[in-house]
Amino acid sequence: MEQLVKEEWEKFSGLLSKLSGYTEAIGLLHWDLRTGAPRKGVETRSNTIGLISGEIFRLQTSTEMGEFTQFFSRPEVMNQLSDVQNKIVKDCRKEYERSQSIPAKSYEEYSVLTAHAQTIWEEAKESGDFNSFAPYLSKIVAFTQEFIDHWGVKDSRYDTLLDMYEPDLTVEKLDDIFGRLRSRLVPLVEAISASPNKPDKEFLAQVFPKEQQEKFGLFILGQMGFDFEAGRLDESVHPFATGLNPGDVRITTNYLPDNVTSAVFSSLHEGGHALYEQNISKELVGTPLAQGASMGIHESQSRLWENMIGRSRAFWHRYYGDLQQHFPEQLAGVEVEDFYRAINSVANSFIRIEADELTYNLHIIIRYEIEKLIFNEGLEVNDLPGVWNAKYQEYLGITPPSNALGVLQDVHWSGGDFGYFASYSLGNMYAAQILNTLRQELPEFEDLIAAGNLLPIKDWLTEKIYRYGQSLTPSQIIEQVTGEPLNPDYLADYLEAKYTELYQL
Amino acid sequence: MEQLVKEEWEKFSGLLSKLSGYTEAIGLLHWDLRTGAPRKGVETRSNTIGLISGEIFRLQTSTEMGEFTQFFSRPEVMNQLSDVQNKIVKDCRKEYERSQSIPAKSYEEYSVLTAHAQTIWEEAKESGDFNSFAPYLSKIVAFTQEFIDHWGVKDSRYDTLLDMYEPDLTVEKLDDIFGRLRSRLVPLVEAISASPNKPDKEFLAQVFPKEQQEKFGLFILGQMGFDFEAGRLDESVHPFATGLNPGDVRITTNYLPDNVTSAVFSSLHEGGHALYEQNISKELVGTPLAQGASMGIHESQSRLWENMIGRSRAFWHRYYGDLQQHFPEQLAGVEVEDFYRAINSVANSFIRIEADELTYNLHIIIRYEIEKLIFNEGLEVNDLPGVWNAKYQEYLGITPPSNALGVLQDVHWSGGDFGYFASYSLGNMYAAQILNTLRQELPEFEDLIAAGNLLPIKDWLTEKIYRYGQSLTPSQIIEQVTGEPLNPDYLADYLEAKYTELYQL
């Protein structure tokens, strides 16, 4: 590397490390708000978060960021950089150009609008009154359309939005992928609905003391290889995971006294996110690559641990005895197979976040199709409830009795997060495809689970995925690990096999 | 106010609010490190703290800060500002000039040196080997002497250091104040040593379960009027209080299983700091005045609650029954008067932080006199152990058997915090003087305590002290509240009356 390039890189690293520091601070300020900050400090805290977020935005769009990324993008300079360095430059440049292109005034108005809209949405959801929220949503859509023009229309307008969360996936690819998935899942769901072999879930409706739930959750996290010297578990209303840095990854759960499975599976879910963040290579610390490759890849790791491992027969044949020991009265006389069937019961329901492993994907496909209609076909906001309800009837055979149980259920649109939903289902598909390779390369996979020896699985995932952080793109990861691009058949195969057996179809 | 002044003030407020935001972030980053941040994240966290501290320093010494404070210091502009605004300008200007005057290179070297010296000090304290620490301490003293030259020598070199923590107090005043205090406390301590009426403390040496200690601590904080919607109580190795903003004031304590009084009095102490911070006027939020008036005034509030209220007879005649209910086995058969005498026992001991309410002041006077010798008389670092031990013999009648129990006991000097110690004893003196007025203006003071009605006391302190934050100077506060400048006789009177009765002198 030439001396000049070396010196410039050192200066650039200073800027990156500043960005990392502010990002860690923001992470902690948010974590604290959600885990126990006193109510009366919230207003001042919000200003502090706004201040530091503003500072991050300022650095990302600063003249120096523009100049550095331009300099390091010259072919004769790129030649001298490592792959990781080039990826850093590419990601920073993308962020720079995206943020730069929006007029400051529009962005400011948009920020105020979305902050306000979230409160309006909360009230609308409470009352089920879509009309009170619609004007705000229309404005958010209008701003987003304006931003798409600034960012530049890709293959289609909605492609520009998808690109923010899952850089390699386009409407063309997703239409094919979701189409294939939907065509296999809808009949499967119908067959399950028609099956007389419904699991008994009644025994789950009991009181499960919080202290015991917490003990069991901590035990399972330990089994997964969660490093408690590099992370912690707390409580919050909505479970989440946040990686301040690979040595400080925090997850939360919410203990419901009348629901033992909620906290168990949220711990497995957030624990999966956490294993990813804890095992990112230390070399990436202080750079923007010290995070997951994409929303979808991140979600694949939470889903793999929550569903493919955590809701597997092998897992509960190993751990059900431990669960029983934590709740001897509640689970006396409940056989492991009954438990396994109960936690895998499928139901056509209205609310995405309460959906089972199978129908969840249909909830996502509905949102994907609707967002595409909004941005590519000009679907009017006022027509959303009708379209929403029709699709629920078509794919799940049910029509929401109210907008609160329908189009108003998710917070995302009130914050302008269009293009995000797809990641959830992509996570499931990535996970199933990775699982397929994992089973080939670690043929003793199920025996390991059945023996409670989960660490080799964590190590394999670290080796193949975690350590790279964001230094590879989602498609590079999935192709490097599995040898082919994203293929929805792995998820369909997995779900068909699992549920055909479970429901004796 | 002229339009120009108004506009400039708005811009200046933006800068102040940025400083407040970063200060809140730093406060949370530190709090989190000390209350449960995972071990493996500490290194990255330290970088983040360094980054944001650096940003605060940069803003405090920025060209804009220089220009704003110069502009607002013009007599024709000052005329247009409120008292609070003028105080903000004055404090910012002082900080600006102080920080500006030190060459960046010296400050950097000094920061590295003190960070390193604290580790060396920890090891030296462990082994009792003063010689291994002495070279570092010599360098720190040399740097401090250099800084004094940059800052400008006041009446004496040590005055320049005192001015950082207690702006209105000089060596001339403190020599008089501490001299008078010492002359009255030394004979009192001697009389107590000679008294045959020693309290029985044996019953305190029992196991007191942590859960019960925590419950009692929370109860007492509630009684004091600690607002749990604007604060929280956590655990840490060393108790502390930190006000992120008046709506978010956090305190910690440390529960020792074999010592029930430690956590009780640390909760009262930190609770006193917290009441101050929680009741600072909301109008000061976002300015540098949203904090205590000085270290000494802050300490007066913790000492007033810990000692003058919390170790009073009236307090325990009201709350001892509650304590007994929390520890029925441990305190069965222990009378309230025995308890009162036990928690007020006086002992000539080596360690400042374990000292009782009376001898504590002598520990501070010793440090004050030694620091003055270092900076005003050129006392050599190598001579410190000898001087230290001689003074302990002279004032407390004991000679430390090792440097670990002597000159090496406190962390302050390893961090360069010369001039700070005085604040602790000033806190006691301010507290006794304020207590004297409080008793006159609230003649039912003791009845209120005896009835467990502490809120009128908190309200009086809020009205007189808390709400002003740093908008008044320590001397303005003490004169406004008590009608006279700091007068050590109030503390001496208070201690003489209390201990003459207690030890039947």
Q: For every one of its 505 residues, what pLDDT tens digit does chain B have, with 9 covering 90 and above?
A: 899 999 999 999 999 999 999 999 999 999 999 999 999 999 899 889 989 999 999 999 999 999 999 999 999 999 999 999 999 999 999 999 999 999 888 988 998 899 889 989 999 999 999 999 999 999 999 999 999 999 999 899 999 999 999 988 999 999 999 999 999 999 999 999 999 999 999 999 999 999 999 999 999 999 999 999 999 999 998 899 999 999 999 999 999 999 999 999 999 999 999 999 999 999 999 999 999 999 999 999 999 999 999 999 999 999 999 999 999 999 999 999 999 999 999 999 999 999 999 999 999 999 999 999 999 999 999 999 999 999 999 999 999 999 999 999 999 999 999 999 999 999 999 999 999 999 999 999 999 999 999 999 999 999 999 999 999 999 999 999 999 999 999 999 999 999 999 999 9
- Chain B within 8 Å of A54 (Cβ-Cβ)? no
The vertex-B54 CA angle with B52 and B55, nearest 5°, equals 65
Identify the pLDDT of residue A13.
97
User: How much is the average pLDDT of A244-273?
Assistant: 96
The verdict on whether B306 is a catalytic residue reads no
To the nearest whole angstrom, how far is the Cα of B18 from the nearest Cα of chain A? 7
Q: Is residue A321 part of a domain?
A: yes
Q: Measuring CA to CA, which residue among A451, A439, A447, A459 is closest to residue A275?
A: A459
A19, A244, A281, A282: best to mutate for the B interface, most B CBs within 10 A:
A244
Query: Is the ipTM of this structure higher than 0.90?
Result: yes
Q: Is residue A80 part of a domain?
A: yes
The DSSP 8-state label assigned to residue A409 in this structure reads S
Asked if A245 and B29 come within 8 Å (Cβ–Cβ), the reply is no
Q: Report the residue of chain A nearest B42, measured CA to CA.
A: A247
User: How much is the average pLDDT of A484-491?
Assistant: 98
Identify the pLDDT of residue A383.
98
**Which residues of B are less than 8 Å from A242 in CB distance?**
none
Q: Is the pLDDT of residue A211 over 90?
A: yes
Identify the pLDDT of residue B502.
96
The secondary structure of A110-131 as a DSSP string is HHHHHHHHHHHHHHHHHHT-HH
User: How much is the average pLDDT of A166-187?
Assistant: 95
Q: Is residue A40 part of a domain?
A: yes
Judged by phi (left if over 0) then psi (alpha if -120 to 50, else beta), residue B152 lies in: left
| Number of domains, chain B | 2
User: How much is the average pLDDT of A18-44?
Assistant: 94
To the nearest whole angstrom, how far is the Cα of B166 from the nearest Cα of chain A? 28
Q: Is residue B327 part of a domain?
A: yes
Instruction: Express each pLDDT in A364-412 by its tens digit.
Output: 999 999 999 999 999 999 999 999 999 999 999 999 999 999 999 999 9
Closest Cβ opposite residue B48 in set A24, A37, A231: A24
A3, with CB counted inside 10 A (0-12, 13-18, 19+), is: exposed
Q: Is residue B395 part of a domain?
A: no
Same domain, B302 and B439: yes
Catalytic residue of the set A95, A166, A270, A371:
A270
Asked if A227 and B42 come within 8 Å (Cβ–Cβ), the reply is no
**Which residues of B are less than 8 Å from A47 in CB distance?**
17, 21, 286
Which of B57, B83, B100 is the last residue before a domain boundary? Answer: B100
Same domain, A90 and A233: no
Question: How many percent of chain A have pLDDT more than 90?
Answer: 95
Which of A100, A131, A158 is the last residue before a domain boundary? Answer: A100
Structure tokens at B336: 């309230």
- Chain A within 8 Å of B415 (Cβ-Cβ)? no
Q: Is the pLDDT of residue A112 over 90?
A: no
Judged by phi (left if over 0) then psi (alpha if -120 to 50, else beta), residue B97 lies in: alpha
Per-residue confidence at A167, pLDDT binned at 50, 70, 90?
confident
Q: How far lies A206's CA from each of A2, A79, A114, A353, B13, in Å?
A: 68, 63, 40, 21, 56
The secondary structure of A241-280 as a DSSP string is EEEEETTEEEEEE--BTTBHHHHHHHHHHHHHHHHHHHTS
- Identify the residue whose tokens are 């509905």: A366
Q: Is residue B380 part of a domain?
A: no
Q: Is the pLDDT of residue A429 over 90?
A: yes
Per-residue confidence at A263, pLDDT binned at 50, 70, 90?
very high
| Mean of pLDDT over chain A | 96
The vertex-A499 CA angle with A496 and A505, nearest 5°, equals 90
- Chain B within 8 Å of A199 (Cβ-Cβ)? no
Catalytic residue of the set B64, B109, B211, B270:
B270
Which of A79, A100, A121 is the last residue before a domain boundary? Answer: A100
Same domain, B206 and B90: no
List Cβ neighbours of B402 (8 Å cut-off, separation of 6 or more): B128
Q: Measuring CA to CA, which residue among B266, B272, B274, B275 is closest to residue B250?
A: B274
B248-253, strands of its sheet edge to edge: B231-235, B248-253, B241-245
- Chain A within 8 Å of B56 (Cβ-Cβ)? no
Closest Cβ opposite residue B41 in set A39, A52, A244: A244
Q: Measuring CA to CA, which residue among A177, A204, A154, A136 is closest to residue A416?
A: A136
Backbone angles phi, psi at A244, to 5 degrees: -75, -40
Q: Is residue B245 part of a domain?
A: yes
Same domain, A209 and A87: no
Binding-face residues of A in 2-21 toward B, CB within 8 A: 17-18, 20-21
Q: How many CB atoms lie within 10 A of CB A75?
A: 6
Task: Give the bridge partners for B242, in sequence order.
Answer: B250
Per-residue confidence at A302, pLDDT binned at 50, 70, 90?
very high
The domain that contains B306 carries what CATH number?
Answer: 1.10.1370.30
Same domain, A314 and A452: yes
Strands A248-253 and A231-235: what pairing?
Answer: parallel
Same domain, A83 and A217: no
Same domain, A305 and A446: yes
Per-residue confidence at A101, pLDDT binned at 50, 70, 90?
very high
Range of the domain at A441: 205-349+437-469
Instruction: Express each pLDDT in B82-129 by its tens digit.
Output: 999 999 999 999 999 999 999 888 988 998 899 889 989 999 999 999
> What is the signed CA dihedral for B125, B127, B132, B134, rounded to 10 degrees?
40
